[in-house]
Amino acid sequence: MAKTINIRSMKKVSDSPETLEKDLSTFPGAFESLEKSKSVIGKSRHMVADYQALALYILACQYDHRDCNILEIGTYRGFSASMIIQGAPKAFFIGLEPAPHEQDRACRNLREITEPERFRVFSVLSWKYLSSYGGPELDFIFVDGAHNQIALDLYWWNWLKPGGLILFHDYTPVDGFKPCEPVYNTVNRFLEWLDRPADVLIVDDRKYGMLGIYKKPGDSEFEERFLDEI
C-alpha cells in the first residue's frame, strides 16, 4: 500500500536512494513528471538525484497558484527547474544560471515543459540579481548555485513570504556522498540563528541531503554578521 506523503513537512532520512525514489514516486503525478523531465532534458551528474527531483515536485505542489512566485538559484540545464514547474504549473518561475550556454539550453528545455510566459531564466549570478531585485516576494526558493558562497544566497531569505519555503541542495557533511561542507556548516549555523530545527529533510543513507525551512510570521531579516555571532 502506498504510504501517505506529508507534502509540507517531509522528513525522510536514512533510506537508500532506491527506497526514497520508490516511496516518493507514489505521489500523484511525480513519477510521470520525472519521466518527462528525463526524456526532455536528459540526466548528468551535475543535476539533482532522481529521488530529490521527485521531492522537489512534491514540495512545489503546495505553491501551485497563479499568485505564487518561485526562484531557483543554479538552474543549469533546467532539470530541477522542470520538476518544480511541473509541480506548480500555475506559479511563475524564475531560474538563475550565469553560464550563457546553459541558460540558453535551460530556456529551450523548459519551453518543452511549460508555456513560455510561465517562466524566465536569467544569465546572472544570484547575488548580482539580488542587488537589483525589487520583488515580488517569493513563495519557494531552491538554492543550488555557488556552494562556496552560500552565505550570500541566505539574503534571499529576506524576500521569502511567511509560509514560503527555502530549500538547500547539497546539505551533506564531509563524510557523506558528494560532501559539501560550506553548505552543511552554513545552513546549520543559519538554523541555529533561527533557533529551530529543519522543517524538511530529505537525506539518504549516504548522508546526501536537502534541507528546507518555512518562514514564519515575525521571523527576523537575515544579515551575514549574525552567523558570526553564533
146 interacts with ligand SAM by CB under 6 A: yes
Check binding of 209 to ligand SAM (CB under 6 A). no
Q: Distance between CA 71 and CA 184 in Å, rounded?
A: 21
Q: Between 155 and 219, name the residue whose CB sits nearer to ligand SAM.
A: 155
SS3 24: helix
Min dist CB 94 to ligand SAM, Å, is 11
Q: How far is CA 203 from CA 49, 76, 161, 210, in A?
A: 11, 22, 25, 6
Give, in order, the Cα–Cα distances in Å from 185 to each of 137, 179, 223: 27, 11, 16
State the number of binding residues for ligand SAM (CB under 6 A).
18
Taking the complex as a whole, the smallest distance from the CB of residue 146 to ligand SAM amounts, in Å, to 3
Alpha-carbon distances, residue 111 vs 65, 77, 114, 121, 134 (angstroms)? 20, 12, 5, 11, 26
Q: Does 125 bind ligand SAM (CB under 6 A)?
A: yes
Residue number with CB closer to ligand SAM (111 or 196): 111
If one asks whether residue 190 binds ligand SAM (CB under 6 A), the answer comes out as: no
Q: Does 54 contact ligand SAM by CB under 6 A?
A: no
| Binding region for ligand SAM (CB under 6 A) out of 41-49, 86-94, 107-115, 205-213 | 41-49
Instruction: Please tell me whether residue 71 binds ligand SAM under the rule CB under 6 A.
Output: no
Among the listed residues 21, 50, 139, 144, the single contact to ligand SAM using CB under 6 A = 144
Among 80, 86, 109, 172, binds ligand SAM (CB under 6 A): 80
Residue count of the chain: 230
Query: What minimum distance in Å lies between the beta carbon of 38 and ligand SAM?
Result: 11
Measured CA to CA, the distance from residue 230 to residue 5 in angstroms comes to: 34
Beta-carbon count within 10 A of 111 CB: 13
Strand order of the β-sheet with 138-143 is 11-15, 200-204, 209-214, 160-169, 138-143, 69-73, 92-96, 119-122
Q: Which residues bind ligand SAM (CB under 6 A)?
A: 46-48, 73-74, 76, 79-80, 96-99, 102, 125-126, 144-146
